C-alpha cells in the first residue's frame, strides 16, 4: 500500500508542477493525470478515503511520514503550505475531472483565490476532494507566520545542486522540480522583492556552493523584470543564469582558487569554461531551452564586443547575456571566498562604474544600480552620526542615499530617509556581516521575524 500511495503522490505532484510551469493543456499533464487517477482509484478500492497531511515540512499518510519523498518535493510542500493547504483528502467515487479541477485550483495565484476553499470547491463541482489546514495546535501557531523565504531560497539552492550534480555525474536531472522551484522563487521575488533581495544580500556572504548561481539568478530575474521582460522571459533568463559558470566545474581547482595572476596557459584554460559550458548545456536544450547555451558562451563577451571567447564575426551579445554578465560581476566582487576578499558595496560600485559603457551596457548598468542601489537592501551600515542602521529601501533618485532603519533604538522603531533634506546623515561605512556587522545580525533578524513589523515601513 505504501508504494501505491507514494506512486500516486509522485504523479499528482508531477501534474501540479507541469500545470504550474505550462498549463493543464500540456500533453505531459494528461499522461501524469491518468497515471495519478489510476493509482488513486486502485487505492480507493480498499478504503473510503485517503488523507494526506503536511506535518512540519514532511508529507504524511496516516502514521507514515514519507521522508525521502518529502525531500524530493520540498519546494511543492512549501508551495502548498503557503496556500494554507496542510491536508488533502480524496474520497471514494472521485472523478478524474475533479482531480483536474483541483489542480486548476492549486495553480491559481493567491490573489486569484477570492473565496474560501470549500466554497470554491462547491462552485466548481469538486465533491470528493477536500483540502485545508490541519487544525493541530502547532498548525494554529503556524498560521499567519506568512511565507518562509528562507525555505524558498534553500529549496531553490537544493534543486540547483541536484540538477548540476546530475549533469556532472551524467544522471537524469529533475528538470521539472528544478523549473518549478525557480518559478516559485521568481513569483515571490517579483511580488515581495524586498524579502528575497534582502536574503540574497545576506546570503552573498555565505560560502555555500551554489549560492553564487542562485544570487546571480535572483538578480538577473529582478533586473529582467524591471527592464520590462515578460514573466516567461524573466524565468528563462533566471534559469539560464544558473548555469553560466557550469564549465568551471571542469577547470582545475588550482586555477580557480589561485590568488595571484594567472599564467598565459592558465588563463587560456580558465577562459575555456565559456565554450565548455555552452557544449554541456547543448545536451539539455529539451528541458532547459537554448538560452543557457547562449548565456554560457556569451557571459564574458562584453558590451564593447571585446572579451572571450573569440568569435569570427562581431555582434552584440544577447540581452540576457548582458544582464547575467552585470549580475555575475556584481555578485563575484561582493562575495567572500577562501581565495579572495569580499569588497564593500561602495567599492564594488566604484570598480564597476569604471566599466560602464565598455564591459557593461550603460543602460543596463544604470538600471541595475537604480534598483539595487549602492548599498543593497539588508546591508548593515554605520551612519555619519555613528549610529548603526540596516538598509530598508533604495532611493532611485539618489542611489547613495537609501532609506534605513536604526538598529538598537530603545522602545520603538526608527526609520530615516537619508535623502530628506534635513536628515544631514549619510552612510560612512559598510559593516561586513562576517566581521564588524556580525553582532547586529541577530537584532535585524529579530525585527524581521516579528510578523507585525512586516508591513510597509515607508
Residues that bind Fe ion (CB under 5 A): 245, 328
Cβ at position 140, least distance to Fe ion in Å: 44
Instruction: HSE, CB side, 13 Å, CA atoms: give it for residue 369.
Output: 23
Nearest-approach distance from CB 301 to Fe ion, in angstroms: 11
Element (H, E) at 212: helix 211-226
Identity of the residue, 54 or 270, whose beta carbon is nearer to Fe ion in the bound complex? 270
Task: Compare residues 159 and 328 and give the one whose CB is closer to Fe ion.
Answer: 328
Specify the residue, 44 or 255, whose C-beta has the smaller distance to Fe ion. Answer: 255
The residues, ordered by sequence, that sit 6+ positions from 133 with a Cβ below 8 Å of its Cβ are: 84, 85, 86, 87, 139, 143
**Buried-exposed string 344-369: b where 16+ CB fall within 10 A, e elsewhere:** bbbebbeebeeebeebbbeebbebbb
At residue 195's C-alpha, the angle toward residues 191 and 200, to 5°, is 115
Residue placing its CB nearer to Fe ion in the complex, 159 or 245: 245
DSSP state for residue 356 in the 8-state scheme? B
Kindly state the smallest distance separating residue 308's Cβ from Fe ion, in Å: 10
For 7-76, the DSSP string reads HHHHHHHHHHHHHHHS-TTSHHHHHHHHHHHHHHHHHHHH-SEEEEEEETTEEEETTEEEHHHHHHTHHH
Cβ-based nearer residue to Fe ion, 328 or 342: 328
Whether residue 182 contacts residue 156, with contact meaning beta carbons closer than 8 Å, is answered with yes
Q: How far apart are CA 355 and CA 361, in angstroms?
A: 9
Residues 6+ apart with CB under 8 A from 338: 207, 257
| 146 vs 207, beta carbon nearer Fe ion | 207
Min dist. Cβ of residue 161 to Fe ion (A): 16
Residue 248 CB, nearest approach to Fe ion (Å) = 6
Which lies closer to Fe ion via its Cβ, residue 246 or residue 427? 246
CB 296, min distance to Fe ion, A: 8
In the complex, minimum distance from the CB of residue 270 to Fe ion, in angstroms, rounded to a whole number: 9
The answer to whether the beta carbons of residues 54 and 87 sit under 8 Å apart is yes
Amino acid at each position: 500500500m505504501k508504494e501505491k500511495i507514494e506512486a500516486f503522490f509522485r504523479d499528482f505532484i508531477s501534474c501540479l508542477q507541469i500545470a504550474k510551469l505550462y498549463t493543464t493543456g500540456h500533453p505531459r499533464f494528461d499522461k501524469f493525470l491518468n497515471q495519478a487517477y489510476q493509482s488513486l482509484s486502485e487505492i480507493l478500492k480498499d478504503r473510503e478515503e485517503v488523507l494526506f497531511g503536511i506535518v512540519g515540512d514532511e508529507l504524511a499518510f496516516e502514521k507514515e511520514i514519507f521522508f525521502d519523498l518529502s525531500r524530493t518535493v520540498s519546494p511543492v510542500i512549501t508551495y502548498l503550505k503557503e496556500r494554507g493547504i496542510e491536508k488533502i483528502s480524496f474520497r471514494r467515487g472521485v472523478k478524474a475531472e475533479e482531480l483536474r479541477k483541483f489542480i486548476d485550483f492549486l495553480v491559481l495565484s493567491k490573489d486569484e483565490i477570492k473565496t474560501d476553499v470549500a466554497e470554491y470547491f462547491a462552485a466548481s463541482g469538486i465533491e470528493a476532494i477536500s483540502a485545508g489546514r490541519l487544525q493541530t495546535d502547532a498548525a494554529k501557531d503556524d498560521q499567519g507566520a506568512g511565507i518562509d523565504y528562507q525555505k524558498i531560497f534553500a529549496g531553490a539552492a537544493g534543486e540547483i545542486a541536484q540538477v548540476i550534480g546530475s549533469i556532472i555525474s551524467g544522471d537524469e536531472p529533475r528538470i521539472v522540480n528544478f523549473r518549478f522551484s525557480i518559478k516559485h522563487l521568481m513569483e515571490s521575488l517579483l511580488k515581495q522583492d524586498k524579502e528575497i533581495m534582502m536574503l540574497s544580500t545576506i546570503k552573498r556572504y555565505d560560502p555555500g556552493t551554489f549560492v553564487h548561481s542562485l544570487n546571480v539568478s535572483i538578480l538577473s530575474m529582478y533586473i529582467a523584470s524591471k527592464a520590462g521582460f515578460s514573466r516567461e522571459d524573466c524565468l528563462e533568463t533566471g534559469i539560464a543564469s544558473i548555469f553560466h559558470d557550469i564549465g568551471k566545474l571542469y577547470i582545475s581547482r588550482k586555477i580557480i582558487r589561485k590568488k595571484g595572476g594567472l599564467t598565459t596557459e592558465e588563463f587560456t584554460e580558465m577562459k575555456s569554461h565559456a565554450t565548455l559550458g555552452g557544449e554541456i548545456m547543448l545536451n539539455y536544450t529539451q528541458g532547459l531551452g537554448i538560452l543557457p547555451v547562449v548565456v554560457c558562451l556569451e557571459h564574458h563577451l562584453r558590451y564593447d564586443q571585446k572579451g572571450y571567447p573569440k568569435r569570427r564575426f562581431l555582434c552584440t551579445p544577447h540581452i540576457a547575456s548582458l544582464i547575467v554578465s552585470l549580475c555575475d560581476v556584481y555578485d563575484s566582487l561582493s562575495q567572500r571566498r577562501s581565495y579572495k576578499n569580499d569588497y564593500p558595496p561602495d567599492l564594488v560600485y566604484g570598480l564597476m562604474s569604471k566599466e560602464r559603457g565598455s564591459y557593461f551596457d550603460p543602460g543596463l548598468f544604470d538600471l541595475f544600480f537604480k534598483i539595487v542601489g549602492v548599498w543593497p537592501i539588508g546591508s548593515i551600515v554605520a551612519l555619519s552620526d555613528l549610529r548603526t542602521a540596516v538598509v530598508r529601501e533604495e532611493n532611485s533618485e539618489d542611489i547613495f542615499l537609501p532609506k534605513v532603519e536604526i538598529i538598537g533604538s530603545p522602545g520603538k522603531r526608527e526609520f530615516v530617509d537619508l535623502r530628506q533634506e534635513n536628515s544631514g546623515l549619510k552612510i560612512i561605512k559598510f559593516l561586513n556581516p562576517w566581521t564588524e556587522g556580525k553582532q547586529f545580525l541577530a537584532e535585524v533578524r529579530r525585527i524581521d521575524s516579528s510578523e507585525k513589523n512586516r508591513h510597509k515601513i515607508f
